Amino acid sequence: MAGLFQKLKTTLEMIKFEHTLFALPFAFLGAILAANGLPTWQQIVWITVAMFGARSAAMTFNRIVDRDIDAKNPRTAARELPAGKLSVGFAWVFLYVSIGIFLLASYSLNWLTFALSPVALICVLGYSYAKRFTAFSHVFLGLALAISPSAAWIAVRGSLYDEVPILLSVLVLMWTAGFDVMYACQDFEFDRKSGLRSIPARYGIKNSLWIARLFHLQAFVVLVILYLVTGLGWPALVGVIAVGTLLTYQHTLVKANDLSRMNAAFFTTNAFVSVILLVTFGSAVFLKAN
For 108-140, what is each residue's pLDDT tens digit? 999 999 999 999 999 999 888 888 888 889 999
- The pLDDT of 81-107, averaged and rounded, is 92
> Domain residues of the chain, as ranges?
20-289
SS3 annotation, the chain: CHHHHHHHHHHHHHCCHHHHHHCHHHHHHHHHHHHCCCCCHHHHHHHHHHHHHHHHHHHHHHHHHCHHHHHHCCCCCCCCCCCCCCCHHHHHHHHHHHHHHHHHHHHHHCHHHHHHHHHHHHHHHHHHHHCCCCCCHHHHHHHHHHHHHHHHHHHHHCCCCCHHHHHHHHHHHHHHHHHHHHHHHHHHHHHHHHCCCCHHHHHCHHHHHHHHHHHHHHHHHHHHHHHHHHCCCHHHHHHHHHHHHHHHHHHHHCECCECCCHHHHHHHHHHHHHHHHHHHHHHHHHHHHC
| Degrees, nearest 5: CA angle 269-272-274 | 125
Say how many residues make up the chain. 290
For 15-68, what is each residue's pLDDT tens digit? 776 666 678 999 999 999 999 999 999 999 999 999 999 999 999 999 999 888
In this structure, what are the phi and psi dihedrals at residue 180, rounded to the nearest 5 degrees?
A: -75, -35
Q: Is 60 exceeded by the pLDDT of residue 2?
A: no
For 221-247, what is each residue's pLDDT tens digit? 999 999 999 999 899 999 999 999 999
CA 144 vs CA 58, 200, 206: distances in Å: 9, 20, 26
CB atoms within 10 A of CB 125: 19
Q: Fold for 20-289, please state it.
A: Tetracycline Repressor; domain 2 (1.10.357)
Give me the pLDDT at residue 199, please. 92
What is the rounded average pLDDT for all residues in the chain?
Answer: 89
For 242-289, what is each residue's pLDDT tens digit? 999 999 988 888 888 877 777 766 677 777 899 999 999 999 999 886
- The pLDDT of 191-214, averaged and rounded, is 90
Q: Is 90 exceeded by the pLDDT of residue 3?
A: no
Higher pLDDT, 241 or 3: 241
Give me the pLDDT at residue 18, please. 63
Higher pLDDT, 216 or 16: 216
Q: What is the pTM of this model?
A: 0.90
Give me the pLDDT at residue 275, please. 92
Among 75-79, 93-97, 234-238, which stretch is predicted with the lowest mean pLDDT? 75-79
Per the CB < 8 A criterion, the answer to whether 223 and 189 are in contact is: no
CA proximity to 135, closest of 73, 65, 188, 61 = 188
Give me the pLDDT at residue 10, please. 77
Give me the pLDDT at residue 17, please. 65
